[in-house]
Chains A and B, each alone.
Chain A
Amino acid sequence: MLFSFQEIVQDFPARRMRWKPPSFLMLFFLAVALSIFAITYQALYALFGVAPAPASFFLYRLFTLLQLAVLYYLLERYYAGKRLGPIRIFWASFLQGIFLIGFLYVLSWEHAPGLDPLTYQPADVLSAIQIGIVALLVSIYGLSVFFRFRILVFFKRTRVTLRNWYVMVGFMGLASLSMFWAQPKDSLNAAAIIFSIAAVSMMIVNAFRLSWIVYLSFREKLIAILVTTAYFFLVLMLLIGMPGQPDWFEWLEAYSYPVSLFIQHCLVFSGIYATTSLLSLLFHLPTTGDFQKKIDELAALHSLSRLVSQVFNFRQLVSTIVHTPVEAGLAEVAWLVLLEDTSRRPQVVAARGVVPDEIAKKVDIEALFKEAQTSKAGYLLIPDVSNDPRVSDTFNDSLHSLLVIPLVARDEPLGALFLARDVTYGFEEDDIEALRAFADQAALALDNARLFQELLEKERLEKELAIAREVQQKLLPQALPQVPGAELVASSVPATEVGGDYYDAREVGEDQIACIVADVAGKGTSAAFYMAEMQGVFHALAPICPSPKTFICQANDALARSLEKNVFISVAYGLLDASAARLHLARAGHCPPVWVRLTGEAQYVKSSGLAIGLDRTPRYCKWLEEQMLELLPGDVVVLYTDGLVESRNIRGEEYGYDRLLQLVKAYRYEEAQRIHEIILTDLRQFLEGQPYTDDLTLMVLKWHGFTEESGREEQKTVSLPSEN
């Protein structure tokens, strides 16, 4: 009876078991029934005019204390979940007090309850009924006020607050019990005095729990001053009484001394609390405006600057997000849950006050996250987790109330911030608002961090591509060798930053030049990589096996080992034997070279052959053909990649093989350099400003005829027309 029922069960491990609390109505009927019993008991003694025997008196007092306990439990439960503002609390207490006093006056108007001067029992039956009713009403009022004020004391509660409160209640109970046998008008015994002093001391301590004051606006404070003053005088009137006022507490003492003492203590506490509130309100009044502004600013600044500056460091950002609410004293435990990119399941990414693994094991994050996401309020609040099946009983001592705030950025759910307090009902409304504002900032910062990461990744890729392109450009020859009796011009334009085209030419023997045009399937860095391999193979193999067929066979053999399964390289390879005026050609899955004679005879040299890498068995060579062209002065041979003939204009038409052949035929009298230019110009005209969709490489060979002079001509390099 000394401690609330709730408190007893809280320290008892069995509380986790399902215990169904009795309904309010049932409890109320029980209290009324006990009242009726008490009234009957007292009325009977008044009727017979004898003092009760000690045994029955003991039982009677026990019943009155039981009634007090029932009322205590009933009202505590009633007010536990209530969220009342301070002004309403004072105002309601004041109004109800006025009504109570009015009622007491009316009740004793005609017939004031009288007490037997010897036994201090009600003098008659009517007095017994009156006293019983007065006791019930005053008890309910006293306890209501007590628990209403408790809401204010528990505002921003900590463990210490709870402890101080229950110590106070304990002393109040002990003081009452010390006066178990006392009769009305008895003065307190030594034990009761000591316990009362202890209780009042604790009341004073608890009365300084006034943090709600700073949240009131100037106007609210003024109103609060008025109502606390009014209430203060009301309590004085109730406890001390005015001249001519009947002593209601004497009646209550006649009903049951310990009950009376307990209720008086409750009212004394409310009086003390009203006093400290009043004083504190007066002190805070002048500074309200500045103070409010300052906290708002500081809070906003604090969270904002810390989060914004950490967008560049994801790990630090998530850590700050869980640390900030805890450091601000708004929670004891916090953890951040983010949706995984692929599975879209919530995962704990940071935690403060708990081990992340522990959370996943003992809390059903997914279920809580889902409910928070779909909740209308925009967050999920569980004031007491002990009965929530989604939080394991064995979780953590510092988790009694839980708040889940979803994080949303650009209408996309990112995850949720979980906050826990070590007390039940640990989150006040304004705390929740502050935390939600903070969560919004956090979501924004997380979103920015993600975007930043993506940008970084993109930039890194671009840089990589730029490097690849640079490497690739270096792989292409800066200058082509001087060909005895012929003129050789070539260029290459990549469609993307990095292309897969390659061309080259080199001397492989006396008056022998090998030239190559190759196209690696695919684009980007991997294509550039294979292009580099192709270059290596060309420079290593061409001098050893200059014949087109052997070269391509050997190259296929060499590259087959390193090429990925779905990568292949098409190659056109020519060996110009200047002294014999012959061009040996082979193509491995490549566009057929153009061959135009001075006479106007124009054709594609279509020899058969598979692209390098398509077949990695020895039968590859079987399919490869080599063709030999007997060159006459004026012959033009053009090697190119499919980027030329397959280029499409805006109407989707292909440049095509015919157009190329006709063009070369028409300009066959021109020098190689000029033909090269004409083809590129014609292609640009055809494309009408469309960009190249594929890499484009073009090599033009013009045969002039081999003479001793041209063979001995000075080696000089021809600079290439650069398209880049």
Chain B
Amino acid sequence: MNGFSVSFQEQDGIVILKLKGELDAHTASELEAAFQRCLDEGKVKVVVDGSELQYISSAGLGVFMAFVDEIRERGGDIKIAALQPKVYKVFDLLGFPMVFDIVATVEEAIKRFQEPKATSSEN
């Protein structure tokens, strides 16, 4: 529970949200605010950099679900990159890889945005 932060970075019209720390019921609202900000600013191509995300709880996972539909409706997507193995396990257990593009690196996620038809989230 000791701290969670989201930092913003933009690259070629793609927003990179870098998550740090532990994402649980207490800190979920921060990620919510970050996604909301992306929506408000019309930036719908979002890459979530999970390289420094230490832990995620079900409430944290809920945030992704809460925003993915709207972002996709507006022509964008949320791509999740560079998750640590133990965090990935949680995503995997709930079947997130079927809904989200989960990739190994941030660069790859950006590449996927740039060549949109090459791969899709369809499995």
Contacts A521-B61, A522-B25; A568 near B98 (Cβ below 8 A): no
Structural contact, B59 and A522, CB atoms closer than 8 A? yes
Closest to A566 in B: B62
Provide the bound-state CA to CA distance between A610 and B96, in Å. Answer: 7
Known contacts: A566-B66, A570-B94. The answer to whether A615 contacts B99 by CB under 8 A is yes
B93 A590 Cβ-Cβ under 8 A: yes
Interface residues of A in 614-667 (CB under 8 A from B): 614-615, 623, 642
Kindly provide the distance from the CB of B96 to the nearest chain A CB, expressed in whole angstroms: 8
Give the shortest distance, in Å, between B84 (CB) and chain A (any CB).
14
Q: How large is the interface on A (under 10, 10 to 19, 20 to 34, 35 or more residues)?
A: 20 to 34
B66 smallest CB distance to A (angstroms):
4
Does B2 have its Cβ within 8 Å of any Cβ on chain A?
no
Which residues of chain A have C-beta atoms less than 8 A from B25's C-beta?
522
Contact yes or no, B94 A591, CB < 8 A: no
Contact partners of B59 in chain A: CB under 8 A: 521-522, 566
A589 touches B63 (CB 8 A): no
Of residues 12 to 26 in B, which have CB atoms within 8 Å of A's CB atoms? Answer: 25
Which residues in chain A, 551-573, are within 8 Å of chain B measured between CB atoms? 565-568, 570
Contact A568 B93 (CB under 8 A): no
A591 vs B66: C-alpha distance when bound (angstroms): 23
Q: List residues of B (67-119) whose CB comes within 8 Å of A's CBs.
A: 93-96, 98-99
Q: Is the CB of B123 closer than 8 A to any CB of chain A?
A: yes
Q: Once the chains bind, are B93 and A608 in contact (CB under 8 Å)?
A: no
Cβ–Cβ contact B95 & A566, under 8 A: no
Say yes or no for A609: interface residue by CB 8 A criterion: yes
Q: A588-B95, A591-B93, A615-B99 known; A568 and B66 CB under 8 Å?
A: no
Task: Judge whether B95 and A565 touch: CB under 8 Å.
Answer: no
A611 within 8 A of B: yes
Taking a contact as CB atoms under 8 Å apart, the answer to whether A567 and B93 are in contact is: no
Do A623 and B95 touch (CB < 8 A)?
A: yes
CA distance in complex: A591, B90 (Å): 10
Name the A residues within 8 Å of B94 (CB-CB): 568, 570, 589, 610-611, 614
Of all chain A residues, which has the CB nearest B63? A566
Answer yes or no: B65 CB below 8 A from chain A CBs: yes
Task: Decide yes or no whether B36 CB sits under 8 A from chain A.
Answer: no
Band of interface residues on B = 10 to 19
- Residues on B with C-beta less than 8 A from A565 are 62, 65-66
**Closest-CB distance, B30 to chain A (whole angstroms):** 14
A589 touches which of B28, B62, B66, B95 (Cβ 8 Å): B95
Instruction: Decide: A567 near B123, CB < 8 A? Known: A522-B25, A608-B95, A609-B95.
Output: no
User: Chain B residues near A608 (CB, 8 Å)?
Assistant: 95, 98
Question: Would B99 and A610 count as touching, CB distance under 8 A?
Answer: yes
CA distance A568 to B95 in the complex (A): 12
Is residue B58 within 8 Å, beta carbon to beta carbon, of the partner chain? yes
Min CB gap A273→B, angstroms: 72
Interchain CA distance A608-B95 in the complex, whole Å = 7
- Report whether A568 and B99 are in contact in the complex, using a CB–CB cutoff of 8 Å: no
Q: What residues of chain A lie closer than 8 Å to B61, measured between beta carbons?
A: 521, 568
CB neighbours (8 Å) of B65 from chain A are: 565-566, 568, 613-614
User: Separation in Å of the B40 CB from the closest CB of chain A?
Assistant: 18
- Chain A residues contacting B28 (CB-CB under 8 Å) are 566
Best-surrounded residue of B93, B94, B95 (most CB of chain A within 10 A): B95
CB distance from B31 to the nearest CB of A (A): 11
Residues in chain A near residue B66, CB distance under 8 A: 565-566
Taking a contact as CB atoms under 8 Å apart, the answer to whether B95 and A567 are in contact is: no
Taking CB atoms, residues of chain B closer than 8 Å to A590 are: 93
Q: What are the residues of chain B within 8 A of A589 when measuring CB–CB?
A: 93-95
Extra 13 A-B pairs, beta carbons < 8 Å, given A566-B28, A608-B98, A614-B65: A521-B59, A522-B59, A565-B66, A567-B62, A568-B61, A570-B94, A589-B95, A608-B95, A610-B99, A611-B95, A613-B65, A614-B96, A615-B99
> Can you list 16 A-B contacts with CB-CB less than 8 angstroms, sorted by A residue number?
A521-B59, A565-B62, A565-B65, A566-B59, A566-B65, A568-B58, A568-B61, A568-B65, A570-B93, A570-B94, A588-B95, A589-B93, A614-B94, A623-B95, A623-B98, A642-B93
